[in-house]
Amino acid sequence: MRFLRRSAKDADGSPKQAHSAAHPAAAQSRDKARPVLNARAAMACYLMLALAYLIGLGVPMLDGAAAGYANTALSLHAEGIRAQVGTNGPPLLFWLSAFSFEMFGVNVVAYKLPSLLFSALAVYSTVRVGAVLYNEDTGRLAGVILASAFALLFAANNADMDAILIGSVIFTTSQLMIFVTDTHKLAARAHLVVAGLGLAIGLAARGLPGVILPLFAVFLFLVYRLEWRKLFDPFWLLLPLSAFLFVFPLIYLWHEETGQNGMAFIQWAQSAEQLSAENPFLGEGMAERFFYYYTYLWAFLPWSAIALWAAASSAHRLVNDRYWPRARGEAVTLGVVVSTFIYITVSQFHLLHYVTVLLPFFAVLLAGWLPARLRHPASYHWLWRVQYVVFALILDAALVFNGWMFPLHDWQTGIAALALLALGIWFIPLWTRGSRLIIVTVSISTVFWLLANANLYPGLLENQAGTALGSTAIRPDQRINPDNIFCLDSEGPSASLNIAIREQAKPLTLDEISKRTGDGRETILFVTAEGREKISAYGLSFDVLASSPNYSNISLPRWKFLNPHTRKDELRTAYLLRMKQQS
């Protein structure tokens, strides 16, 4: 910490300090002209983050929403079951993942690839929005901030609909802003058509939020620029027309397979149910008062603390300017963030994506505010002090997760994390004054997720029997045909097992198991300890091929499970059984 503090006090070397003392005005002008994060520093940040993203790409999904979505995509790929997604919300994620399975085979990487690509699209589009609202340097910084946010790393790893929604919303926003600012009419209209594609994707991913946010953002943008005439441009009609053309195949297939009114469900019914908590499938007790606020605090780590500072400072500046900032984009970013938070606060049901979709706007807001503070000595040191607290919390959490709850399995992961952290700190003197805070913050985020993807998730997966036993079943030495793997109908299918064996393990009753074994057909069963007792009580014989500890709610673990001293009491055993032929 002393080294960090000393580096923060230094400028860019003694020769420049001497020159600055002799010509303070020239030095100050030069410092303002220099970008906080140049292209080389931004590339270094992206390369660090790519390590965490790519390691997470190969980590199997935890049982819960992510594994359930992957299982639905597997059904689409194997049997073309479109109807079953009609009750689970807009099916874009399932269709994209099924297409990825078709292209690259059934594996974890193929399922997570669409989410990773949309995460990259979100970062790219955030850079574009930052460049339109401020300048290219701000856009570059905003992209790095978003890429290192915990929620985006989590969305790419968890591979649910959030990454698609984030990418589509900010992509549509960027295209609409380019349409407004582009003086070349033909090119501007092309951007409007592409924005229609973005709206269709957002609509198919999460319904109304994917449409309202980008339209509201561009409305604020037009108001901010005082371009009232542009609001009545007849070419705006291209937007709903192109959006409808792109989304029509989804609506048609939905209606044909389910008989539901696809447009009404996607556009209005689903979002209205979530706002009023009328959906019969949603549990009670979800309306915690501060849900969205503490969700934001972890979702935008390691930037959430200083982003709140930026939001408060920007709001103060907005008021002082009589709600009309001079040559700044806070009217758009702050307007979207504050308005959305007011809207979702009255919601009776809380969903994570209502917060995560705002992260690109938070990133642009922070990137527009941060450079001036990094050049101001007092603010610069206060930024470091705030981030020291954030760094300590993140590293302490990483130590608890990977040192106590799930100790490191191999020394290579620990050395890689320490080397990455050391490089981020060691090379501080090589970077400009403004970029030091950025580089270290990105390093801390990368270290946390490197350890999470290389150690924490694998540690959790050791207690997910579906993945462990499924991987055992498809080993070449087992010589098991995945078509002959089943589960007990009273226990239901395991999504993680299906993904591991790359097939749907069909449920069987005890009578059906008896008939198969009587016919001499190979029958491999995935069962819990209770299921094994039922089979024994029924009089069927079997050999135990493998067993594995299993925690039933691995995606939402309780403290007794996370505590290594009480974990055994929370675990149950699952088995892979080879049924013996009945005489």
Closest CA to 84 of 485, 531, 493: 493
Predicted local distance difference test score (pLDDT) of residue 172: 94
- Structural domains in the chain, CATH included, are 1-18+376-461 (no CATH), 112-303+323-375 (no CATH), 465-579 (3.40.190)
Amino acid at the residue 162: D
Q: What is the pTM of this model?
A: 0.86
Mean pLDDT for the stretch of residues 382-398: 93
d(C-alpha 271, C-alpha 264), whole Å: 10
Q: Which residue has the higher pLDDT, 178 or 67?
A: 178
C-beta separation of 217 from 361 below 8 A: yes
> Could you report the per-residue pLDDT of 6-61, keeping only the tens digit for each?
444 443 433 444 344 444 444 444 455 577 888 888 888 898 899 889 998 888 88
Mean pLDDT for the stretch of residues 141-160: 91
pLDDT score of 278 more than 50: no
Phi, psi of 271 (to 5 degrees): -65, -35
Q: Which three-class secondary structure state does DSSP give residue 502?
A: coil
Phi, psi of 112 (to 5 degrees): -80, -15
> Could you report the per-residue pLDDT of 55-92, keeping only the tens digit for each?
988 888 888 777 888 888 888 877 765 544 444 555 78
Mean pLDDT for the stretch of residues 355-379: 91
Longest CA pairwise span in the chain (Å):
99
d(C-alpha 38, C-alpha 43), whole Å: 9
Sign of CA dihedral 210, 211, 212, 213: positive
Mean pLDDT for the stretch of residues 257-275: 54
Average pLDDT, the chain: 80
Q: Residue 450 contacts by C-beta under 8 Å, 6 or more apart in sequence?
A: 51, 52, 55, 413, 416, 417, 420
Closest CA to 203 of 172, 176, 226, 181: 172
Q: Which three-class secondary structure state does DSSP give residue 544?
A: strand
Rounded to the nearest angstrom, the gap between the alpha carbon of residue 160 and the centroid of all alpha carbons in its chain is 7
Amino acid at the residue 73: A
Burial class (CB in 10 A: 0-12, 13-18, 19+), 558: exposed
d(C-alpha 467, C-alpha 61), whole Å: 9
Token pair 């992510």: residue: 66
d(C-alpha 341, C-alpha 350), whole Å: 12
Predicted local distance difference test score (pLDDT) of residue 139: 94
Closest CA to 357 of 206, 145, 250, 222: 206
pLDDT score of 287 more than 70: no
Mean pLDDT for the stretch of residues 220-242: 84
Predicted local distance difference test score (pLDDT) of residue 79: 72
Q: Which three-class secondary structure state does DSSP give residue 25?
A: helix
C-beta separation of 540 from 510 below 8 A: yes
pLDDT score of 174 more than 90: yes
d(C-alpha 167, C-alpha 202), whole Å: 8
Among the residue ranges 138-142, 204-208, 288-292, 492-496, the one predicted with the least confidence is 288-292
H or E stretch at 343? helix 330-345
Q: Which three-class secondary structure state does DSSP give residue 17?
A: helix
pLDDT score of 266 more than 60: no
Predicted local distance difference test score (pLDDT) of residue 26: 45
Token pair 């950025």: residue: 438
C-beta separation of 160 from 65 below 8 A: yes
Using pLDDT thresholds of 50, 70 and 90, give the confidence band for residue 442.
very high
> Could you report the per-residue pLDDT of 308-354, keeping only the tens digit for each?
999 998 888 877 766 555 546 788 898 899 888 887 777 656 677 78
pLDDT score of 408 more than 90: no
What is the number of alpha carbons within 13 Å of residue 445 lying toward its C-beta? 32
Predicted local distance difference test score (pLDDT) of residue 87: 44
Q: Which two tokens stand for residue 274?
A: 């979530």
Mean pLDDT for the stretch of residues 175-191: 81
Phi, psi of 352 (to 5 degrees): -60, -35
